[in-house]
Amino acid sequence: MTDSGHKHTRAARLAKYLMGGPPLLFLLLLFAVPSVIMVLASFRYPGEFGGLAPLTAADPNTLQGVTLETYQFFFSDLIYIKVFIKSFFMALATTLICLIMAYPLALLIALSPKKNRNLMVLMVILPFASNFLIRVYAWMIILGPQSVLSQLVNNFLHLFGNAPVHLLFSPFAVLIAMVYVHLPFMVLPLYSNLEKHDPSLLDAAQDLGANGWQRFWRVTFPLSLPGIFSGSALVFIPVLGMFAIPDILGGTGDMLIGNLIKEQFIGTRDWPFGSTLSIMLTIAVLLIAWLAAKLGGHRGHYA
């Protein structure tokens, strides 16, 4: 992807900075600088009323200066690691279910006549036109004990002599809403990838005697891996930081990292510890993103 021709090099560099400069500047100012402030905050003491304790105070009795106490606190009890592991599995489950649901849909759209594709993609995005909280609220209605679904499930369980279950306020409710809210993030990159596959490859495979499944597993699926990885990253990461869904639909045990971080800022007013938790989460997320990028990028160079 590098420019070869000598006479173009300078123009290309100019184009690179003309194109990339404005977004870079914007993000440096509104993302990098605030992030640095956040990292610094994790080494401070919490203010008595929230916020941060001063770095220097005239009164020597006031808590001041920098400290590693939030990190010590984090590792002093396994509970915080457990929250991370729990959130990781929730994100993993959501991603897998999203993938299983999104793939046939994305494939169907990609294989449809061109004039229909835009409409079909729009139909995936349209549910996004309603507010996120409303979409979560819809599941409160669907999963509520009076709902048709709940009664069906419980009648079914009753047939086999099982005790009735509560669908609402459960890890199941959290998972289904997580999938519902994030599904389009999986469909779009997948479609974007599948759509540009060269049909002649499949024709060639067919000429070589491959049946439908073989053509899918040997040709379509490997080629779609970059789409799978970017879609997975787009689902996995927001789920990892989500707090609203466990808040609204969760039961007594549904606490994820997002809830914990939110609580530090909105409940406990412990910004330094909240920053520490966020940094831990960022590290986890970076590892995952790096992994996805590496896998996706590696397989992506087929051109």
Partner 1 sequence: MIWRVLLLFILLFIDAAHADDVLHLYNWNNYIPAQTIARFEASCACRVVQDYYSDNEEMLAKLAAGASGYDLIVPTGNAVESLIRQGALRPLDKNLLPNLHNIDPAYLNAAFDPSNRYSVPYAYTLTLIGYNREKIRELDLTTDSWAIIFEPIYLKKLKGRVTVLDSQRELLAAALKYLGYSVNDVDEVHWKQARDLIIRAKPYWAAFNASSYIKELTVGNIWLVHGYSNDIFQADLDAQKANRKFRIVSSIPKEGAVMALDSMVLQKTGSHPDLSHRFINFMLDGRNSAELTNLIGSGNPNRDALQYIRPEISQNPAVFPNRAQQVRLEMLHDLNRHQRRILSRIWTQIKLK
Partner 2 sequence: MHRGPRLWAAALAVYAFLYVPIAIIIAYSFNDSRLNAEWVGFTWHWYKVLLHDHDMLVAAGNSLFIALVSSLVATVLGTMAGIAIQRYNFTLLNFMVLMPVAMPEILLGVSLLLFFIQVLNLTLGMLSIVLAHITFSIGFVAVIVRARLAGLDESIFEAARDLGASPWETFRYVTFPLILPGVIAGGLMAFTLSIDDFVITFFTAGVGLSTLPLHIYSMIKIAVTPEVNAISTLLILLTLTMIALASKFTSNALLKKP
**Is residue 30 a contact residue for partner 2 (CB under 8 A)?**
yes
Least CB distance to partner 1 at residue 287 (A): 23
Q: Among 260, 261, 279, 281, indicate the residue that binds partner 1 (CB under 8 A).
A: 260
Q: Give the position of tokens 């999203």.
A: 98
Q: Which stretch binds partner 2 (CB under 8 A): 58-66, 77-85, 159-167, 241-249?
A: 241-249
At closest approach, how far in Å is the CB of 159 from partner 2? Answer: 24
Comparison of 139 and 170: residue with beta carbon closer to partner 2: 139
Q: Could you give the C-alpha distances from 174 to 32, 46, 75, 178, 248, in angstroms and in order? A: 32, 32, 28, 6, 9
The site partner of 238 among partner 2, partner 1, none (C-beta below 5 to 8 Å per kind) is partner 2
Residues 99-158 within binding reach of partner 1 (CB under 8 A): 140, 144-146
Scan residues 161-190 and list those touching partner 2 (CB under 8 A): 180, 183, 188-189
The binder of partner 2 chosen from 49, 60, 77, 146 (CB under 8 A): 146
Does residue 42 touch partner 1 according to CB under 8 A?
no
* Shortest reach from residue 268's CB to partner 1, in Å: 4
Residues in 67-86 at the binding interface with partner 1, rule: CB under 8 A: 73, 77, 79-80, 82-83, 86
Residue 93: name its binding partner from partner 2, partner 1, none (Cβ under 5 to 8 Å by kind).
none
Q: Of 107, 220, 273, 279, which one interacts with partner 1 (CB under 8 A)?
A: 273
Site residues for partner 1 per CB under 8 A = 45-51, 73, 77, 79-80, 82-83, 86, 140, 144-146, 166, 168-169, 247-248, 250-255, 259-260, 263-270, 273
